[in-house]
Structure 1
Amino acid sequence: MLPYFLENNLINISSQHPKDWQEAIRISGEIMKKNNLVTDKYIDQVIADIKQYGPYIVIVPGVAMPHSQADSLDVLGTGIGLTIFPEKVSFDHNDPEKDAQLFFMLAAKDNATHMKNIANLSNLLMEEGMIEDLCQVKNLADYRKVIQKHDSNKEKSK
């Protein structure tokens, strides 16, 4: 799945640290907007959902999966965007388990595709060392090295 982000121009390696989680969501939404997958309203809805329900999008420490309703009119296409920040962003200053550095923004035109994307992403993140390796990425060359490392690991395990 790692090559997907590169091949579809859905990766943003940010050199700037956002001032708060809302700005992090907006920055992670930019790559989705550039690819005509979501509108600003979708990003606003993601932020509103987090304000209402809490940081449910932080699925494991270090990883956030921003998303809103799969059938939203503000979803223009299906895809996943990856934004990597230089440091973790706090969603709850009292709970470091709710910090995230990797933001995988989801958009899907239907529920079935939405669930498939979540499953594919979960499989990717369960690969040994994947989260740690992605958190070390500072540029596209680093990202390509992570792709090579994990592709060769898959070949060895066959």
Structure 2
Amino acid sequence: MLRYFYDNKLIRFEEEIPANWEEAIRFSGRVMKNQNLVTDRYIDQVISDVKEYGPYIVIVPGVAMPHSSAKNEGVIGTGIGFTIMPKTVSFEEGNEEKDAKLFFMLAAKDSEAHMQNIANLSDMLMEEDMVDDLMKVRNMEDYVAVMNKHEK
């Protein structure tokens, strides 16, 4: 899966520190917009969903999976974008369990593809040392080293 991000130019090393979680979601949407997978409408919906349902997108400490419904009109194509923030972003003040630095934005044209993307991403994140290794990545050279370490 790490090669997927690399080969499809769906990885971004964010340089700007987001002011808050909303801005972090917008930043994580940039790589998806650049590859014509989503529009601002989709990103706005993700933010709206988090406001309505809480920080459900923080799936484990340090990792966020911004996504919304496959029915959203802002979805142009199916894919996952990976953005590494320069610093941890808090979704819930005082709760480190809801902080994230690694953002995997999902978009899918149908529910089946959406569920498959979640399953593939979950499998990757459960690999031993994967999250810890990705948290240390600062640039493409670091990323390639982690990718090579985890390739099967």
Interval containing the TM-score (normalised by the shorter chain): over 0.9
Structure 1: distance between partners of 2:63 and 2:49: 17
Structure 2: distance between partners of 1:100 and 1:146: 19
Residues 41 and 73 in structure 2, CA contact (< 8 A), matched pair in contact too: no
Residues 80 and 107 in structure 2, CA contact (< 8 A), matched pair in contact too: yes
Identify the residue that residue 132 of structure 1 maps to in structure 2.
132
Residues 15 and 138 in structure 1, CA contact (< 8 A), matched pair in contact too: no
Structure 1: distance between partners of 2:9 and 2:98: 27
**Greater radius of gyration (CA):** 1
Please identify, of 23-32 and 11-20, the stretch whose mean Cα deviation from structure 2 is larger: 11-20
Structure 2: distance between partners of 1:25 and 1:52: 15
1:72 aligns with 2:68: no
Structure 2: distance between partners of 1:129 and 1:137: 13
Structure 1: unaligned runs, 5 residues or longer? none
Residues 17 and 86 in structure 1, CA contact (< 8 A), matched pair in contact too: yes
Structure 2: unaligned runs, 5 residues or longer? none
- Secondary structure at the counterpart of residue 131 of structure 2: helix
Deviations 1:11-63 (A, max 9, x none): 00112221100010000001100111001010000000000100000000000
Shift of 1:94: 2.1
Structure 1: distance between partners of 2:93 and 2:82: 23
Q: Percent identity?
A: 62
**Alignment size in residue pairs:** 152
Identify the residue that residue 87 of structure 2 maps to in structure 1.
87
- Secondary structure at the counterpart of residue 102 of structure 2: strand
Shift of 1:71: 1.9
1:106 aligns with 2:106: yes
Shift of 1:111: 0.2
